[in-house]
């Protein structure tokens, strides 16, 4: 661990590209998600998932869990704070032969961010911006939702937009070597 929250090795981001319509640079988006977690001072062992899915999948999730209708650009599913105890459950006995005696704390599961590149592509075209810029915004937006940012009220929305701009600017500066 380096001590720098933006590069903390205890912050794990698991990513999967479950769509075939557009190429997705998973490594870049994992770096961005980890950067946001670090900049937001998420500390200790923590993990989240970042999924890129097709329109039908995001539409199904939107309808099933949020009561929405049709595809959307990004969904965030924060996890509950309670962590289920690990180890053997039937007899509450030891962990078994050869298992380490001190497991430490399990990682905190922050949640899942689901991005739909096809919707992002349409939005980028409507806004006249590169697809990568739209995807970057959606990744940041989703991670901030996991960290309790919201945009229901205008004051909250402006604070969230401002934080998104700050994080995106800093990440782009880092990518350019600045």
Look up the pTM and report it.
0.83
Other beta carbons less than 10 A from residue 47's beta carbon: 17
Q: Which two tokens stand for residue 134?
A: 């739209």
Q: Which CATH number fits domain 5-81+107-175: 3.40.1170.10, 2.40.33.20, 3.40.50.720, 3.40.390.30?
A: 3.40.390.30
Helix axes 131-146, 117-127, angle to 10 degrees: 120
Task: State the Cα angle at 41 between 83 and 136, rounded to 5°.
Answer: 95
Question: For every one of its 178 residues, what pLDDT tens digit does the chain have, with 9 covering 90 and above?
Answer: 233 344 457 899 999 999 999 999 999 999 999 999 999 999 889 999 999 999 999 999 999 999 999 999 999 999 965 444 444 444 445 555 555 555 567 888 999 999 999 999 999 999 999 999 999 999 999 999 999 999 999 999 999 999 999 999 999 999 998 6
> What residue spans define the domains of the chain?
5-81+107-175
Which secondary-structure segment (H or E) carries 134?
helix 131-146
């Amino acid at each position: 661990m380096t001590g720098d929250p933006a590069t903390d090795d205890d912050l794990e981001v698991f990513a999967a590209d479950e769509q075939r319509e557009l190429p997705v640079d998973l490594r870049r988006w994992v770096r961005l998600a980890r950067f946001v977690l670090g900049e937001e001072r998420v500390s200790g062992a923590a993990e989240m998932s970042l999924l890129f899915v097709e329109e039908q999948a995001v539409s199904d999730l939107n309808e099933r869990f949020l009561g929405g209708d049709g595809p959307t650009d990004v969904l965030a599913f924060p996890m509950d704070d309670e962590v289920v105890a690990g180890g053997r459950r039937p007899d509450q006995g030891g962990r078994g032969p050869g298992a380490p005696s001190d497991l430490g704390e399990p990682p905190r599961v922050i949640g899942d961010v689901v991005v739909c590149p096809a919707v992002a592509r349409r939005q980028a075209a409507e806004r006249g911006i590169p697809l990568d810029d739209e995807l970057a915004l959606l990744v940041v937006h989703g991670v901030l939702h996991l960290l309790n940012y919201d945009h229901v009220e205008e004051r909250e929305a402006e604070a969230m937009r401002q934080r998104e701009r700050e994080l995106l600017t800093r990440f782009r500066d880092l990518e350019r070597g600045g």
